Structure 1
Amino acid sequence: MKIRTKYHGEIEIKNEEIWLFNNGIPGFPAEKEFILLPLPDNDVFTILQSVKTAEIAFVITDPFSFFQNYEFSIDDQTLEQLKLQNEEDVQVSVILTVQDPFEKTTANLQAPVIFNVNNKEAKQMILNDKQYTTKQSLFGPSGVK
């Protein structure tokens, strides 16, 4: 099927590339299907693109590449909802707020996106951990220097 995207124009996608967010993403409850699109010449950042709405696309990254001490437990509700059974099935990303200049970009460590790579289901999980913020600098004291 063809979809319009925010950063890649019109592209052809396959159904097996679609990630299902059963409850949408906080702030976007009607957006339930997303795809992951690579950025050209960049293997650190990815676009989480809505299948339905071209304007809804998030830049995401692996938080552990930037925050070596980032850790949390996946709550039972998320484990059940995503049908997670093995640690190997889990992929974690965080949504970025891209700034100009890029060095001011922040990561939402308070709400990681949890992917079940086995069944293509995902969820943005809200943490109840005050040590993480929604606007943690990627390149500051706690991020990569």
Structure 2
Amino acid sequence: MQVMTSRFGTLEINPSDLLHFPQGIPAFEHLKEFFFYPIPENPAFTWLQAAADPEVAFLLVDPFLFFPGYAVDLPARLQEELAIKDPADALVYAVVTIPDGDIRRATANLVGPIIINPTVRLGMQLILEGTKYTTRHQLFKESFSDDESIPSSGGNEG
């Protein structure tokens, strides 16, 4: 199937690659189908693109690479809704905000992780309550000069 996107042009997507968000994502409840659009140069990041709206895409990051002490307890309700048999099998992502397009000031929302069951391709944004985390954790502690690249890493621990 062909999907129009404002960032990446027209993409050919296999329908089996779609992720279904039964409740949508907060503020985007009307959008139920998304897909990953990876960033090969930096596998720590990926885009979560809405299939039905070319303008809606979220930059995601594997939070465990930047915040090793980050922990998310998956409530039984979420595990049931996403058919997660073992929480270790779930993928956990944080939504990234890049103020004024300056990657050096990028922040991650650790209060609202995106949880994906890759086996059945179901997803949901979990809103953590009573947590020490915030919606704006600085990704890069040090500033980078214009000629330095942002470090890349791979993997996603759940």
Which TM-score applies when normalising by structure 2? 0.85
CA distance in 2, matches of 1:89, 1:120: 12
**Where has structure 1 moved over 2 Å in runs of 4 or more?**
none
Give the aligned partner of residue 82 of structure 1: 82
- Segments of 5+ residues of structure 1 without an aligned counterpart are none
Say whether the 8 Å CA contact 2:74–2:87 is kept in structure 1: no
Among the aligned pairs, what percent are the same residue?
35
In 2, the alpha carbon distance for the partners of 1:136 and 1:41 equals: 23
- Which residue is equivalent to 2:128? 127
| Structure 2 counterpart SS, 1:77 | helix
Name the stretch that deviates more: 122-131 or 24-33: 122-131
Aligned length: 143
Q: CA RMSD in A?
A: 1.8
> Could you say which residue in structure 1 is the equivalent of 2:105?
104
How far off its partner does 1:140 sit?
3.1
Equivalent residues in 2 for 1:47-86 (5 A)?
Answer: 47-86=47-86
Greater relative contact order structure (CA < 8 Å, 6+ sep)? 2
Unmatched segments (≥5 aa) in structure 2: 143-150, 152-158
Q: What TM-score, normalized to structure 1?
A: 0.92
Q: What does residue 38 of structure 2 align with?
A: 38
The CA deviation at 1:133 is 0.5
Is the 1:20–1:120 contact (alpha carbons within 8 Å) kept by the matching residues of 2? Answer: yes
Matched, 1:113 2:114: yes
Q: How many Å apart are 1:41 and its aligned residue? A: 1.8
